Structure 1
């Protein structure tokens, strides 16, 4: 009984309702998506290595082509560029104190640079092929380098000598990592599919060897030193070092070769970058992927800042992607503005200490205030500088002596003393007259006196004041010479007395020794009573028990004053 549709009714399509897909956003996704403050910096060649300075504000070094770029951690702009490489550079890395940088390269040379001045401090030449890995040890005086010549060298920086050489790998060595709990233990990974543990106190053979089954691109150890991560091809393998390097996990979530790994500051997340242009984040408790991010080109290097606030990715097309995490701030009610007058208004912000993650502190340059005589020396006014220290009342003599030494070092003593009139020369001679007999400064002041005499000997007789001062100076020197002569005579007398006393002591000791020997020989031969009477005097029964031994007689003789 349904009515048939008429020819005039329009056709209505069937409405198909599909269920709406709901994407669940996890706290992990929200955390990594907060890395929104993005800067993209193009380079002319591929980015082969990124390394953060461990110290705040966490500057980072980027290695690309034949240059090493040092970026400011706060502004994320290039602060310095090191271009002292003849060929392509590799593996620019900071020392733990941030003062030095090390880098290898195709030139087969390991170089150490001053991070401040960019000067080359050391150059190590032993490798015979390209050096792809340079790593500072935590004891700051050692450096490890790995090369395509299949060798690993351990260098002593102060002496510029190779302490140890390890040659157990059979292919290119492309990664190394120091054990976080022991600076003598190092891990190395090679294209011969092996990961080796070395004890540099006995580097003849590896302590432990693990097979990754593919060329090893990067290795990483957690700070507790119990787990080691190695990546090669599309797999990441986990090794338990407490179980003699036994493999505990293996996971593969990339479609192409994994080239780099890093770990966050809480040691709970592992990040990996791959040639498939993806960065994946793994939960180290379950080894499952918690977040993934797609980039524009194949990834060659990845690094996360020590405070886990900056993520940097280097790509094969030369793109450097820098992302900083935005910290969400709790919105509070605006405080009541202080009155325009009063103590609270003028002291507002006095207790603010800044936020190290957000604020950039401009270092203050403290300038020391120079003394007036230092300013004169700085402007090469040697005469004014000497007059200032000599003419000041109650001036410390050490300041005047330091000024004279400085003028001698600068070859300015003659300039400071010449062309003086009577009024300007008198204080100088007065100072020499007062202090030339001081044993602490006499050697220097005698030299200064000779300079004064050379300059003004032709003017003697023209000024009564200067002539009187020179006469007083001559009298002081002559009296000092007489005093020294008396001291030498007294010294000679004392030495003669000491020598006479010593000879008398020796003769007394020799006489006592000869008497002891005569007594001993007589006792050994069992002498008759007349012999004993000859030696010890008439025999008295009452005194027979009081015959002293040689030791007692020697002791008594030593108590008699000379």
Structure 2
């Protein structure tokens, strides 16, 4: 028995751009970017969210500090709720942060004062200034995650202090830094433990429960000034020093990993995915997303100016229910960028709207609506059938043998190719059908098979002008497609070799079909020349960029 002749396998075009990874697809859902200018174009120095606290947040808002004011935005609507500007005339607000219930805002300032504001009335509830307070700018204030009335502050006077809302004097003072203290936080899961970073290139761990001198429990030295610290757990810390981010293990006292993904100073750090991803922003204008398992960069964003602050604004009142809602980035130019992630019904509606708009542009709106009605009808039937209970007790069990599958029917051009009718096969595959038009994959498959059989010249030879028009039209349509350029090169080379003399004859005749062929050849020539010029310009640009990178 002779072996069965299988149909010609289709030629698959080379793959295009690499498919998106899960992380890239996720971060691309942060769309609908909103750019909000700050008053007087002052840089956005701080973006804080109450849900930084491990106990969870009941406040649906976040605070943005810029110049001499702190602005409170709604997490749900992204609209400005309150503006607190009760600072001195020449004072600059620093590190505005909401308590987790959203009722009190805490802020430092360049005047050295620490102030607590009622977010409802904007009244000053408490103010710490004078001999027992800080004497230089206060860049960091943070609420205690477990005690509603307790807070910490760090200042350029090299001290760290712990305060209570009900008292005028500090409960505890930490001394030991040798330069400005510009970042700090409470260590989650460790009651009374504070971590601070300073321009003396050190990170210090403090135990505020100890009385006496208030010396640091542990000191870690870094090669550059420390711009930001962020706890990743009760014993792990992310430290931004220079253009590096060090993952520090407080138990072993050693660095677990050093992230070197930025070209300039890293100014801010944030976590997302409930700690599964680490975001870093720097003066190079990049936000990089890192996997906290391998610490590789899995996604990123580029902004037009240096980044001073960064935060992930979450939704949900409990730790297990938190979802990343907004990506908030503060720029040196005074712009606040808010990218919002659509989820649930909002995401479905956005996709549906995009598909409907695309169908409207392509002129297939009626067909799209018809398909949607069929889809809705099918979903209704499935929803109805899900209420029924099919257990299958009375169903017949039928065991079938290993029957031979039915051979797939050949397309007309495949039959012509098998019979050696090469010209006929090319004419058939280039003839548009009523419903689908010309299938480019089938055309490439046939041309590749003809080239392998050395029959491409035979299929193109001895053609009248009207038989050349479909070939030239298809070539003109796909001449800029990099995946088809090799086979089109062979086709056009054979056409120029076979019909060079006839092209000259058609120029002197009144034949309309011949003039159409000449017109198509001229359009292909112009398109190839334009593409070659663009390629030359791109090559020149790449040379300039290589020189800049080398410099």
Same fold by TM-score greater than 0.5: yes
- Aligned to 1:169, the other structure's residue is in SS state coil
Indicate yes or no: 2:60 matched with 1:51.
Answer: no
**Alignment partner of 1:134 is 2:136:** no
CA distance in 2, matches of 1:333, 1:212: 61
Q: Give the distance between the partners of 2:176 and 2:58, measured in 1 at CA.
A: 38
Instruction: Find the partner of 1:29 among 12, 24, 32.
Output: 24
Deviations 1:175-209 (CA, angstroms, capped at 9, x unpaired): 11111102300100001010011100116211111
Q: Per-residue displacement from partner, 1:335-392 (whole Å, max 9, x unpaired)?
A: 879xxxxxxxxxxxxxxxxxxxxxxxxxxxxxxxxxxxxxxxxxxxxxxxxxxxxxxx
Of the three residues 108, 123, 146, the one matched with 1:119 is: 123
Q: Does 1:242 align with 2:245?
A: no
CA distance, structure 2, for counterparts of residue 65 and residue 192 of structure 1: 26
- 1:294 is matched with which residue? 302
Give 3-state SS (helix, strand or coil) of 2:75's partner: coil
Deviations 1:505-547 (A, max 9, x none): xxxxxxxxxxxxxxxxxxxxxxxxxxxxxxxxxxxxxxxxxxx
Aligned equivalent of 1:100: 104
CA distance in 1, matches of 2:340, 2:50: 16
Residue from 185, 196, 215 that aligns with 1:205? 215
Alpha carbons 2:227, 2:266 under 8 Å: kept: yes
CA distance in 1, matches of 2:276, 2:171: 36
Determine which of 281, 284, 287 is the counterpart of 1:273.
281
Determine whether 1:150 maps to 2:162. Answer: no
1:315 maps to which residue?
331
Question: How far off is 1:98 after superposition?
Answer: 1.7
Given candidates 333, 341, 351, the residue that maps to 1:325 is 341
**1:160 Cα offset (Å):** 2.3
Separation (CA, whole Å) in 2 of partners of 1:265 and 1:197? 27
Work out the CA distance in 2 between the residues paired with 1:214 and 1:74.
39
Q: Secondary structure at the match of 1:236?
A: strand
Distance 2:380 2:120 in 1: 46
Corresponding residue number in structure 1 for 2:192: 184
Q: Which residue of 2 aligns with 1:219?
A: 229
> Who is 1:498 aligned against?
none
CA shift at 1:127, angstroms?
Answer: 0.8
- Report what 2:63 is aligned to: 61
TM-score for both structures, normalised by structure 2: 0.56
CA contact (8 A) 1:174 1:190 kept: yes
Counterpart selection for 1:85 from 84, 87, 93: 87
Task: Identify which of 207, 226, 240 aligns with 1:231.
Answer: 240
Structure 2 equivalent of residue 540 of structure 1: none
Per-residue CA shift, 1:97-134, capped at 9, x if unaligned?
22111001111100000121111000011111111001
After superposition, give the CA deviation of every residue in 1:217-266 in whole Å (9 maximum; x if it has no partner). 0001113x1211100110000111221x2111112110100000011142
> Does the residue aligned with 1:28 lie in a helix, a strand or coil?
helix
Report the CA distance between 1:150 and its aligned residue: 0.8
**Whole-angstrom CA distance in 2 between matches of 1:183 and 1:103:** 23
Indicate the residue corresponding to 2:35 in structure 1. Answer: 40
Divergent runs of 4+, >2 A: 18-24, 53-58, 328-337
Relative contact order, higher structure (CA 8 A, sep 6+): 2
Q: What CA deviation, in whole Å up to 9, does each residue of 1:450-502 have, x standing for no partner?
A: xxxxxxxxxxxxxxxxxxxxxxxxxxxxxxxxxxxxxxxxxxxxxxxxxxxxx
Q: What is the rounded CA distance, in whole Å, between the counterparts of 1:109 and 1:73 in structure 2?
A: 28
| Pair 1:270–1:310, CA change in 2 (3 A) | same
Give the alignment's Cα RMSD to 1 decimal. Answer: 2.0
| Structure 1 residues 114 and 183: alpha-carbon distance in aligned structure 2, compared to 1, 3 A threshold | farther
8 Å contact from structure 1 (residues 58, 305) kept in 2: no
* Residue matched to 1:506: none
Q: Which residue of 1 aligns with 2:75?
A: 73
The Cα shift of 1:53 comes to 2.8
Q: 8 Å contact 1:137–1:178 — kept in the other structure?
A: yes
Contact 1:212–1:230, Cα closer than 8 Å, also in 2: no
Task: Number of aligned residue pairs: give it.
Answer: 318
**Structure 1 pair 74/328, CA: closer, same or farther in 2 (3 Å)?**
closer
Residues 28-71 of structure 1 show CA distances to partners (whole Å, capped at 9, x for unaligned) of 10000100021110112100001113335630111000011011
Contact 2:58 2:102 in 1 (8 A): no
SS in 1 for 2:194: strand
Gapped regions of structure 2 (runs ≥ 5): 1-12, 52-56, 315-322, 353-374, 382-551
Mapped to 1, the partners of 2:189 and 2:201 lie a distance apart of 25
* Cα distance in 1, alignment partners of residues 236 and 265 from structure 2: 22
**How far off is 1:328 after superposition?**
5.2
**Aligned to 1:256, which of 250, 257, 264?**
264
- For residues 254 and 292 of structure 2, the distance between their equivalents in structure 1, rounded to whole angstroms, comes to 17
Aligned 8 A contact 1:88 1:107 in 2: yes
What SS does the corresponding residue of 1:31 show, helix, strand or coil? helix
What secondary structure is seen at the aligned counterpart in 2 of 1:180?
coil
Write the distance in 2 (CA, Å) between the matches of 1:23 and 1:276. Answer: 26
CA distance in 2, matches of 1:58, 1:217: 28
TM-score for both structures, normalised by structure 1: 0.55
> Does the residue aligned with 1:266 lie in a helix, a strand or coil?
helix
